[in-house]
């Protein structure tokens, strides 16, 4: 199903909140990377960049992080 407008924003905001709580609990880099992608998909680029910068500080040679940044 394809969502546009307010429906898309609502779904992405809810998914972001859920994944953010998962990241806060698990502290795994995989979850944090997914959160950065979700932020970017939701148009929250500054938040995405912040998460990516944290990931890059922890693992500066990770190609996935470098490509997405």
Segment 46-66, tens digit of pLDDT: 999 999 999 999 999 999 888
pLDDT at 5: 87
**Distance separating alpha carbons of residues 33 and 51, to the nearest angstrom:** 7
Position 69 pLDDT exceeds 80? no
| pTM to 2 decimal places | 0.87
Q: What SS3 state is found at 14?
A: helix
pLDDT at 1: 66
CA 69 to chain centre: 12
Burial class (CB in 10 A: 0-12, 13-18, 19+), 57: exposed
pLDDT at 53: 95
Segment 5-20, tens digit of pLDDT: 899 999 999 999 999 9
């Amino acid at each position: 199903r394809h969502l546009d407008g307010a429906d898309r924003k609502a779904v992405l905001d809810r998914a972001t909140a859920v994944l953010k709580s998962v990241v806060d609990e698990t502290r795994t880099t995989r979850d944090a990377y997914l959160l950065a992608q979700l932020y970017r998909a939701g148009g929250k680029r500054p938040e995405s960049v912040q998460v990516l910068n944290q990931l890059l500080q922890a693992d500066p040679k990770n190609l996935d992080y470098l490509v997405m940044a």
